[in-house]
Amino acid sequence: MCLPPGAGTDPRVCASGRRRRVPASIRCSTWILAAAWAAAPSPALAEPDDKLAEPDALPDPAGDELMVGEVIVVIDEAPRSTTATVREIDARTIAATPRRSADDVLRLVPGLHLNQHGAEGKAQQYYLRGFDAVHGSDLAVNVAGIPMNEPSNVHGHGYVDVGFVVPEAVALLRGRKGSFDVDQGDFATAGSVDLELGVPAGLRGTRVGYEAGTTNRHRVVAVVAPAEGPDEEVVAVEAMHDAGFGQNRSSERVSALAQTRLQAGRWSFLPLALAYAARFGEPGVVPLADVAAGRIQWLDSYARDGRGASRRLLAGLRARRVAGDDRVDAALWLGWRQLSLDENFTGWLMHPEMGDRRLQEHDALSGGGALALHRALPAGFAIAAGADLRVDRLRQREDGLTPGGMPWMAERSLRGQVAAAGGHAALVWKRDAWRAAAGARGDLFRMVGDDRLDDERDGAGTVAALSPRASASWQRGAVTLFGAYGRGLRSPEVRAFGAPPPPENQENTLYVGGEPRLARSDSGELGARVRPAGGLEIGGAAFATRVTREAVFDHVSGVNATLDESRRLGAEVDAVWSPATGIDLRLDATFVDARFAVSGNPVPGAPRLMASLEARAWRGRWTGAVVVRHLGARPLAHGATGAAATVVDALAGWRRGGWEVTLQIDNALDAEWREGEYHFASSWDPGAPRSNLPRLHYAAGRPFGARLALTHRFEAWP
């Protein structure tokens, strides 16, 4: 494992004493990029892309603060928070970010870390403000206004996968930390992320592209976004094959989406249709001690037969009516989802004769709708109210498999239904330097489970929650002060209603359901932002969160284990600087201490420190970017601690006429790092004595790699 920069040694020297050479291609490309930057002509003032960075493009600070490039925003439009921890990132910044899929787009939210212990196609694992949200249990994700978290998914409650989104069709990324807005519902205990689809002016046009990479990666993408069309109108199709950087990490996907905007008087309508299919390897994780002993190589996998498949169909319709300061928003959506995972995380630990390989299958039909109203009142007041409804019908199975892949033991066969209804209302006030919002949301969940293996485990129940939210900010000149309080919630799983209680006086490590209760998170934050002259903006916030019922993913049972109360204390700082037209710099760091309230032990999973440095430049026909992400040591289960890691990615692009060439570099310093780290027992030699003592396991991080893309735009780039 290579030590991070600043750890007192050369970052290219590993703990083993071995010096890792930076690839010659990186050393050369760094000098070439620097020379090209110095030689490139300055951009013309009339160039449309650069208008985004011109001071004249910024609105009056007294009005709504719109996102230009990448800024901290305070949106007047209720019911969004008046705190400054909302971050919006535009398509221009996304295009200048090294990325393989839409999952990498989410990494642009400061303080949000993702790791992948499978291959592309499986949902990422999310970390935010001290939460290990596993595959989405504590992070609400929406795409085009449609909730993506899957309640009671067979692989993890709140499972969310955005790999079906074509990155070139993402017009806006919005990250909200905490649950301070009344429209944030189930799973938004740590925060929420919204992806808006479309192609904004300046980037519109019809284009086709081909990408080839060092992992035998081939990707074809086509985007149709007519220049005269609205920003929301886009048709995007992609097909990708990647052999992966190690054993059993291959992936393939095909995705297509279409969205447009129709206008009828004051009403605007956004219909959306989407289809997606993917298959991928499931390498699992590897014991670190086995690598040190030479029994397996760093990028190899014990679970060489693991694989997965994911399919999705989705249709949605959004509508908005605007009359002055009054607005009406409505949405309807319907989706079908299928997921299968053939995996093995523990080898031969639990079943020494047959092995621990298992097949998880999940099918769901989901639909819902939402209605939101905003009504202006006298004296600077406004009322914002809304309601939402979602229904999920699901079927899931889990079977133990023989080493040859044949089912030998049925572990789960469940049919269930989840109905979730929510309502919210907030009073918003704006007066001079003050802005404030206060309100609440109510949520009601009705769950019915039919266990096909044991009728005594059938169950049904209803749970409800009331969640108050409040926020306020004060702005005078270049200084903004803000504060907020909010209660978030996480619904229980369907099968919790039919499961027996855990054994008395025994820790519920192997999940058997537990008492079906809502988990609640009470969060607060205080902070400030300063915008001195020279395009610089500096901000900081202190935050605290209390969770009534912690959830920790257990790899032995393969699901979330529910534990006792926890608390999180932390702080974050960031700086955004645009020293000149066409140059954007950003630095952010988040520190958090997460502990169980009773024992004082650290909550496993989430890193204590996360930091990133991003530099982007647009000059004439050239685009360049360097992204550095640091992941601090993270506490693991059973008292273990992981290792810190620092990874550098880079991008360089050149345009001429209708052609664009882009080179993307993954892990430019070729660091040998652990993307995922876990501490549990496993046994990978069926002939050796078994031990229930936990060991460190890791999912290898992506090594050095390069991807070269050629894109043809049928209209010349502006």
Q: Rounded to whole angstroms, how far apart are CA atoms 12 and 358?
A: 39
- Alpha helix (H) residue ranges in 213-298: 288-292
| Residues 207-227, mean pLDDT to the nearest whole number | 96
| Res 4: pLDDT | 35
How is residue 297 written in tokens? 């190589």
Give the single-character DSSP code of 650.
E
CA torsion 193-198-204-206 (nearest 10°) is: 120
Residues 6+ away with beta carbon under 8 Å from 604 = 132, 552, 634, 635, 636, 637, 679
Give the single-character DSSP code of 43.
P
Identify whether 79 is preceded by a cis peptide bond (ω within 30 of 0).
Answer: yes
| Res 245: pLDDT | 93
Is residue 179's pLDDT more than 90? yes
Q: Are 341 and 303 in contact (CB under 8 A)?
A: no
How is residue 247 written in tokens? 């054993």
Tokens 């050149």 locate to: 654
| Residues 227-235, mean pLDDT to the nearest whole number | 94
Top pLDDT among 638 and 273 is at 273
Q: Are 353 and 325 in contact (CB under 8 A)?
A: no
What letters, b where the CB count within 10 A reaches 16 and e where it falls short, cover 345-363? bbbbbbbeebbbbbbbbbb
User: What is the rounded end-to-end Cα distance, in angstroms, of the chain?
Assistant: 45
| Res 6: pLDDT | 36
Q: Are 82 and 435 in contact (CB under 8 A)?
A: yes
Q: What is the Cα Rg of the chain in Å? A: 25
Q: Rounded to whole angstroms, how far apart are CA atoms 27 and 63?
A: 47
CA torsion 95-96-99-100 (nearest 10°) is: 50
3-state secondary structure of 715: coil
| Arithmetic mean of pLDDT over the chain | 85
For the segment 383-411, what is each residue's pLDDT rounded down to a tens digit? 999 999 999 999 999 999 999 999 999 99
| Residues 199-215, mean pLDDT to the nearest whole number | 95
CB count within 10 Å of CB 170 equals 26
How is residue 299 written in tokens? 């990028």
Is residue 41's pLDDT more than 90? no
Which of 1-10, 211-220, 673-682, 692-701 shows the lowest per-residue confidence on average (mean pLDDT)?
A: 1-10
Question: Strand 139-143 relative to strand 191-197: parallel, antiparallel, unpaired?
Answer: parallel
Is residue 238's pLDDT more than 60? yes
Top pLDDT among 606 and 72 is at 606
Give the single-character DSSP code of 119.
-
For the segment 665-709, what is each residue's pLDDT rounded down to a tens digit? 999 999 999 999 999 999 999 888 888 899 999 999 999 999 999
At residue 78, what is the residue type? A
Q: Are 182 and 468 in contact (CB under 8 A)?
A: no
| Res 326: pLDDT | 93
| Res 523: pLDDT | 95
For the segment 131-178, what is each residue's pLDDT rounded down to a tens digit? 988 888 899 999 999 999 999 999 989 999 999 999 999 999 999 999
Give the single-character DSSP code of 243.
-
| Res 551: pLDDT | 62
| Res 33: pLDDT | 34
HSE toward the beta carbon, residue 169, CA cutoff 13 A: 29
For the segment 507-562, what is each residue's pLDDT rounded down to a tens digit? 433 344 456 778 889 999 999 999 988 889 999 999 999 998 776 655 555 555 55
Q: CA nearest 336: which of 150, 188, 136? A: 150
At residue 653, what is the residue type? G
Q: Rounded to whole angstroms, how far apart are CA atoms 184 and 141?
A: 10
Q: Rounded to whole angstroms, how far apart are CA atoms 261 and 676?
A: 41
Q: Write down how long the chain is.
A: 718
| Res 455: pLDDT | 85
Residues 6+ away with beta carbon under 8 Å from 708 = 211, 212, 213, 661, 662, 663, 664
Percent of the chain's residues with pLDDT above 90:
71
| Res 22: pLDDT | 37
Is residue 115's pLDDT more than 80? yes
- Phi/psi at 518 (5° precision): -75, 140
Is residue 206's pLDDT more than 70? yes
Torsion over CA: 504, 508, 511, 514 (sign): positive
Tokens 């989410």 locate to: 106
In CATH, what class is 24-713?
mainly beta
Q: How far is CA 440 from the centre of its chain?
A: 26
| Res 507: pLDDT | 40
| Res 514: pLDDT | 52
For the segment 51-109, what is each residue's pLDDT rounded down to a tens digit? 333 333 333 333 333 333 443 333 333 334 455 578 899 999 999 999 999 999 999 99
At residue 385, what is the residue type? A
- Alpha helix (H) residue ranges in 332-404: none
| Residues 622-633, mean pLDDT to the nearest whole number | 96
- Phi/psi at 475 (5° precision): -130, 130
The domains of the chain are located at: 24-713
For the segment 435-473, what is each residue's pLDDT rounded down to a tens digit? 999 999 999 999 999 999 988 888 899 999 999 999 999
Residues 6+ away with beta carbon under 8 Å from 404 = none
715: confidence class by pLDDT, cuts 50, 70, 90: confident
Tokens 């969160």 locate to: 545
| Residues 251-279, mean pLDDT to the nearest whole number | 96
| Res 556: pLDDT | 52
Q: What is the pTM of this model?
A: 0.85
Q: Are 92 and 202 in contact (CB under 8 A)?
A: yes
How is residue 214 written in tokens? 């060092």
Q: CA nearest 276: which of 143, 405, 389, 368? A: 143
What's the 3-state SS for 290-321?
Answer: HHHCCCCCCCCCCCCCCEEEEEEEEEEEEEEE
How is residue 114 written in tokens? 């993702």
Q: Are 692 and 681 in contact (CB under 8 A)?
A: yes
Is residue 356's pLDDT more than 80? yes
Q: CA nearest 426: which of 416, 414, 436, 411? A: 436
Top pLDDT among 459 and 381 is at 381
Q: CA nearest 561: which of 633, 638, 626? A: 638
CA distances from 706 to 23, 379, 498 (A): 11, 58, 50
CB count within 10 Å of CB 504 equals 5
563: confidence class by pLDDT, cuts 50, 70, 90: low
